[in-house]
Amino acid sequence: MLAKELIARYEAYCPQELSMDGDISGLQIGSLDKEIKTVMIALDVRETTVAEAIEKDVDLLIVKHAPIFHPLKNLVANPQNQIYHDLIKHDVAVYVSHTNIDIVPDGLNDWFCDLLGITDTSILTPTSDGYGIGRVGKIAPQTFEEFALKVKEVFRLDSVRLVAYEKSAELIDRVAICGGSGQGFYRDALKAGAQVFVTGDIYYHTAQEMITNGLLAIDPGHHIEVLFVSKLAEIFEAWKAENNWDVTILESQATTNPFYHL
């Protein structure tokens, strides 16, 4: 099948137009006007991802994080540019689905809610035409620490960073969540009545502001978005069965999380 046929089915579910202003989505490297036999889903495009794609003879990479996020000044040989050189040399097309998969109903933030038992959800931050990024909803009453341990367990983390000055026995039952780096939406979490905000990459001073304004937070890191890989592969496998696609769908096994904790 042609790459553009597979992507057309994906965009019927998750249109590029849902992306936030200024975001990068869609084809970024290569062409969709080519026959494909092997598609790989990945969170990031790093040297490990590219080596895996070449080894497995991948024709199309579908990723959440764009390999080219800032304008390139050149393509001279250096470690970062080698990623692009190798993708082009081996004719691996790269298609990006970033904030549109965060925003779309039954997308990444809804999958997070399902895993964490967050119910009766609504949009955290509206974007356009009834869509929005992040979710806020209810959980069974529990302490902040109990919920934090659930986040750690569900996402198989070696640690989880908590935003709070001290432990508390007070029960919480309303939380907000935004995958990736969502600290900029914390005021929306407050307006929505959330007691806890789950998001990654929280800055030191922003964490202090959150506490001062009465909001606790859990920072599980940016890499929890790796859920994108298994869930999207599951969706593509269903479409493959429905449409009799002659294509292999792979989940990337490459390690791209740059952090671990001792």
Residue 82 lies inside a defined structural domain of this protein? yes
Residue 261 lies inside a defined structural domain of this protein? no
Residue 257 lies inside a defined structural domain of this protein? no
Nearest to 53 by CA among 262, 258, 251, 260: 251
Give me the helices (H) in the chain, please: 3-13, 47-55, 79-89, 99-103, 108-116, 144-154, 186-191, 204-212, 227-243
Specify the pLDDT at position 237. 98
| Structural domain of 69 | 3-98+225-250
Q: How confident is the model at residue 100 (pLDDT cuts 50, 70, 90)?
A: very high
Same domain, 159 and 242: no
Q: What is the rounded CA–CA span in Å between residue 228 and residue 107?
A: 9
Once rounded to an integer, what is the mean pLDDT over residues 101-110? 98
Residue 92 lies inside a defined structural domain of this protein? yes
- Mean pLDDT, the chain, whole residue set: 97
Once rounded to an integer, what is the mean pLDDT over residues 172-191? 98
Specify the pLDDT at position 128. 87
Q: Kindly report, residue by residue over 1-50, the tens digit of the pLDDT.
A: 999 999 999 999 999 999 999 999 999 999 999 999 999 999 999 999 99
Same domain, 41 and 79: yes
Q: What is the rounded CA–CA span in Å between residue 53 and residue 204?
A: 37
Same domain, 72 and 155: no
Q: Residue 143 maps to which CATH number?
A: 3.40.1390.30
Residue 37 lies inside a defined structural domain of this protein? yes
- Number of domains comprising the chain: 2
* Total-model pTM: 0.96
For residue 109, give the DSSP letter. H
Q: Kindly report, residue by residue over 43-94, the tens digit of the pLDDT.
A: 999 999 999 999 999 999 999 999 999 889 999 999 999 999 999 999 999 9
Once rounded to an integer, what is the mean pLDDT over residues 109-116? 98
Q: What is the rounded CA–CA span in Å between residue 14 and residue 31?
A: 20
Same domain, 153 and 80: no
Same domain, 131 and 57: no
Same domain, 63 and 24: yes
Same domain, 121 and 37: no
Angle between helices 79-89 and 47-55 (to 10 degrees): 20
Q: In angstroms, what CA-CA distances link 238 with 231, 243, 245?
A: 11, 9, 10
Q: Are strands 60-63 and 248-251 parallel, antiparallel or unpaired?
A: unpaired
Specify the pLDDT at position 36. 98
Same domain, 144 and 230: no
Once rounded to an integer, what is the mean pLDDT over residues 84-111? 98
How would DSSP label each residue in 11-76? Answer: HHHS-GGGSPTT---EEEES-SSSB-SEEEEES---HHHHHHHHHTT-SEEEESS-S--S--S---
Question: For tokens 């599980």, what's the residue?
Answer: 220
Same domain, 94 and 129: no
Same domain, 211 and 111: yes
Once rounded to an integer, what is the mean pLDDT over residues 96-109? 98
Residue 260 lies inside a defined structural domain of this protein? no
Q: What is the rounded CA–CA span in Å between residue 193 and residue 61?
A: 39
Q: Kindly report, residue by residue over 209-231, the tens digit of the pLDDT.
A: 999 999 999 999 999 999 999 99
Residue 32 lies inside a defined structural domain of this protein? yes
Residue 75 lies inside a defined structural domain of this protein? yes
Once rounded to an integer, what is the mean pLDDT over residues 127-134? 94
Q: What is the rounded CA–CA span in Å between residue 252 and residue 255?
A: 9
Same domain, 116 and 164: yes
Same domain, 17 and 44: yes
Percent of the chain with pLDDT over 70: 100
Residue 111 has pLDDT above 90, yes or no: yes
CB–CB of 225/257 below 8 Å? Answer: no
